[in-house]
A and B are shown apart, each in its own frame.
Chain A
Amino acid sequence: QDKLFVYVSPDVIGVNAFLKMGQTGTEAAAAKFGAEAKTFESSNAASRKENVEAAINEGASIIVMAGFEFNDIVTELAPAVPDTQFLIVDQCIENRPDNVHCAVFREHEATYLIGVAAGMLTKSNKVGVVSALDIPFLHRYTDGYAAGAKAQNPAVAVDIRWVGGENPFADPVRAKEQALAASAAGSDVIFTATSGGDFGVFEAAKEADFKAFAVDVNLCPEDPEHMVSGTLKRVDNAILQAVEGIEAGEKQLMLSLGLKEKGMSIIGLEDEGLAESKCLIASMPDVLAQVREVAAQIEDGSLTVEDPMFAK
């Protein structure tokens, strides 16, 4: 096998569903095009750069990178190796050379829908969100959610909390404490977007008995009594789709995936699989109806959700 696809993760993959999906997507693409797939896990800024350099050095034909952490690295390295194709998932760079491709998501569209559901479900008129780190990208989760909740229910107050600490993307202990704190402060619906910390929030949901939403994949089976729904981000599809384009010889490929392109979704938007999802939303017809209506508005363009990442 002379063809090699390398997936470089920005952090250790661990229980991070998003990063895992990147890996499965790359592997699926490799299988389809008869290439070997390798994964280089990074753990910090220096090793990200070293891993991408290593991937070039190992002769990868396509390097898939998940996350905006790779912008500088690609900007710096890609022009020198025109035969290596770079695919950045989640982010794009300016002034791209021909061999740099992007697949980005409009997460805020899905989190807006979660906010709508939360706005309907709250009895205390207070909803919470716990996210990993106060960084612009994660505001797509927190602010999209807040916007949806407020649009649905103007009386609602949104309590935004950050995990922080030494390893914000994988710290269930702190995530749990933040969720408990938010719950204690009155939130009865809490959305978690903390990657590795999500399970901490679920434990808090059990202890403090609040409703919860999650991100990226269906996590409802973890706690069918408290999990209402979650966003779905089809990273694997996006990668497969992008690789197809690259293999077809496209230059500067750019995919932007939202509700309309079925790149983002939330559990309950489709009937398919809803019954088996174990999510509470399946038994909330009014919420389902409202969410689907708002989704339709976003898809047909009559409602635009502002991208919070570039706000402020």
Chain B
Amino acid sequence: MDIDFRNQLLPCVSVFAWIFGILLVLMFVANAHFGEAISGFLNGAFGGRNLAYLLTTLSRATLIVGMALAVMISFRAGLFNIGGEGQLVIGGLAAALVGVYMPGPGWLVMATGIVAAMAAGGLWAVLAGVMQLYVGVPLLIGSLLLNYPARYLGSYLVGHPFRDVASGLPQTHLVPNEAWLPLFSGTRLDMGILFIALMSVLAVIYCNSTVPGYRARMNGLAPEFARASGLPVKRIVLQSLLMSGAIAGLVGALAVFGLHHRFTDGMLVQPLYAWTGIIAVLLVGMVPWAVPISGFFFAAIQTGAAGMERTADVPKEIGLIMQAVIILFVAGRISGVSLAGKSGENDNGH
């Protein structure tokens, strides 16, 4: 009991003290009124007229949780896929192009757009996997570097051939109204969150109860063990990446059909959805059921920080800093998969 207390509770308390202390220092630097800042934060994250800000948080959480699920699928399989951004962009692009150019009833356009986005994102991720398996490019770097071609390809396509000239921005035309994701009545929240809720459930089932999920997990915990035990390692790698990329693509599609209704250059990159998704997964050590909670938590930090900026003039980057600090302090406690140990690994298969 005594030992338990010292080993478990005390470090937690000290971590909270540290994080809180850093928060205070940051506010002091910004010369902010503490109470005002905190109430601005809470209001910005969870309040507002008719809970408008809570809905904003949920809307942001939709995309962050989606990216976190994508990342989780590959991380649990031991695949350090940090190319979620590229997969997200490619997915969004595919969704927008289908949404704008495909004729037919709205629901069909949307469904096709979502499928196309998932396929495109999945293939983009698989590309990184192929480079690792057959060329020997470490996935960590390969997937990261593939972000840039994705980004610039998107930028080029919406800036030149598929540009909505009249809008004045590098962006596609609007997706027709009928293909938008409907809003929950009386709110500004679109139904994309339902897709992500469903995905969360599916992901938990996949991780805990299916054969491929079990195999991927074993590969993530001990790749050499998986190989020597005769698991189909290459298939695990490609399958996991395909799923991971497909979820990222889905998130891109939801951003297009739910939030922005077209693809604008930079709209999926600048808000750092992919990176936030990564840290959301790391925060909870890749435990599937906890990932949506953690994603929501980070979304709240971001919208809360924006609220803090509006009311107390604390730059909203405080949100980014706090996210990083939280991860730093839990980094030592994250169990499950050691990422650094595996990043440089090459596959020596025949």
User: Are A and B close enough to touch in the complex, i.e. CB under 8 Å?
Assistant: yes
List the one stretch of B31-39, B52-60, B223-231 in contact with chain A: B52-60
- How many angstroms between the C-alpha atoms of A177 and B248 in the bound complex? 35
Residues 134-178 (chain A) with a chain B CB within 8 angstroms: 134-137
A46 contact from B44, B165, B168, B271, Cβ within 8 A: B271
CB neighbours of A50 from chain B (8 A): 56, 60, 303, 306
Residue A47 is within 8 A (CB to CB) of chain B in the complex: yes
Q: For residue A43, which residues in chain B have a CB less than 8 angstroms away from its CB?
A: 270
**Contact yes or no, A68 B169, CB < 8 A:** yes
Binds A, one of B5-13, B136-144, B261-269: B261-269
The stretch from A25-33, A53-61, A250-258, A290-298 touching chain B is A53-61
> How far apart are A48's CB and chain B's nearest CB, in angstroms?
9
A194 at the interface (CB under 8 A from B): no
Q: Once bound together, how far apart are the Cα atoms of A41 and B305, in whole Å?
A: 13
Cβ of B166 < 8 Å from any Cβ of A? yes
* Smallest Cβ-Cβ distance to A45: which chain B residue: B267
Checking B49, B163, B166, B266 against A44 with a beta-carbon cut-off of 8 angstroms, the contacting residue is B266
Contact B262 A57 (CB under 8 A): no
B267: A residues at CB distance < 8 A: 44-46
Known contacts A38-B310, A134-B159; is-contact A46 B167 (Cβ 8 Å): no
- Which residues on the A side are within 8 Å of B163 (C-beta)? 136
Inter-chain CA distance A312–B159, complex, in Å, is: 12
Determine if B235 is an interface residue (Cβ-Cβ < 8 Å). Answer: no
Within 8 A of A (CB), among B288-325: 303, 306-307, 309-310
**A134–B307 CA distance with the chains assembled, in angstroms:** 33
A47 CB contact (under 8 Å) in B159, B170, B261, B306: B306
Interface centre among B56, B168, B259, B264 (most CB of A within 10 A): B168
Q: Does B326 contact A (CB under 8 A)?
A: no
Residues of chain B contacted by A133 (CB below 8 angstroms) = 170
Task: Please provide the chain B residues from 156 to 183 with a CB less than 8 Å away from any CB of chain A in the complex.
Answer: 159, 163, 165-170, 174
Q: B residues within 8 A CB of A76?
A: 261
B232 lies within 8 A of chain A by Cβ: no
- B53: which of A40, A57, A68, A72 is its contact (CB, 8 Å)? A57
Q: Are B264 and A40 in contact (CB under 8 A)?
A: no
Query: What CA separation (Å) do A76 and B175 show in the bound complex?
Result: 13
Q: Which of A58, A72, A309 contacts B261 (CB 8 A)?
A: A72
A91 touching B168, Cβ below 8 Å: yes
Contacts of B48 in A (CB 8 A): 54, 57
Q: How many residues of A contact B (CB 8 A)?
A: 30
Q: How many residues on B have C-beta within 8 angstroms of the other chain's C-beta atoms?
A: 31
The answer to whether A309 and B168 have CB atoms under 8 Å apart is: yes
B52 touches A46 (CB 8 A): no
A38's closest neighbor in chain B, by CB?
B310
Structural contact, B168 and A72, CB atoms closer than 8 A: no
Tell me if B260 counts as interface (CB < 8 A to partner A): yes
Contact A54 B262 (CB under 8 A): no
Q: Which residue of chain B has the shortest Cβ distance to A55 in the bound complex? A: B310
Contact of B166 with A310 in the complex, beta carbons under 8 Å:
yes
Closest Cβ–Cβ distance, residue B88 to chain A (whole Å): 13
B333 within 8 A of A: no
Query: Considering the chains assembled together, what is the distance between the CA atoms of A130 and B260 in angstroms?
Result: 30
Q: Considering the chains assembled together, what is the distance between the CA atoms of A40 and B166 in angstroms?
A: 26
A312, B165: Cβ atoms closer than 8 Å: yes
Q: How far is the CA of A136 from the CA of B163 in the complex (A)?
A: 9
CB <8 Å contact, B60 and A46: yes
Contacts of B303 in A (CB 8 A): 50
B267 (CB) vs chain A CBs: closest residue: A45
Residues 269-304 of chain A: 1 if any B CB is under 8 Å from the residue's CB, otherwise 0? 000000000000000000000000000000000000
A124 beta carbon closer than 8 Å to chain B:
no
Q: State in angstroms the CA–CA spacing of A248 and B179 once bound together.
A: 39
Tell me whether B310 and A58 are in contact (CB under 8 A): yes
Q: Are A135 and B169 in contact (CB under 8 A)?
A: yes
Quick one: given A44-B266, A45-B270, are A54 and B306 in contact (CB under 8 Å)?
yes
A45 close to B188 (CB less than 8 A)? no
Q: How far is the CB of B168 from chain A (nearest CB, A)?
A: 4
Is the beta-carbon distance between B159 and A135 smaller than 8 angstroms?
yes
Is B49 a contact of A57 with CB atoms below 8 Å?
A: yes
Query: For B166, what are the chain A residues with a Cβ–Cβ distance below 8 Å?
Result: 310
Residues of B within 8 A of A38 (CB): 310
User: Beyond the given A43-B270, A135-B170, could you list 15 further A-B residue pairs with CB under 8 A, ordered by the A residue number?
Assistant: A41-B309, A44-B271, A45-B267, A45-B271, A50-B306, A54-B307, A57-B52, A72-B174, A77-B188, A91-B168, A135-B159, A136-B169, A137-B169, A310-B166, A312-B165
Give A contacts to B, CB under 8 Å. 38, 40-41, 43-47, 49-51, 53-54, 57-58, 68-69, 71-72, 76-77, 91, 133-137, 309-310, 312
Can you report 9 A-B residue pairs in the complex whose CB atoms are below 8 A from each other? A40-B310, A43-B270, A44-B267, A46-B270, A47-B271, A50-B56, A53-B188, A72-B260, A135-B159
The 5 lowest CB-CB distance pairs between A and B, nearest first, are A44-B270, A45-B267, A68-B168, A137-B168, A46-B271
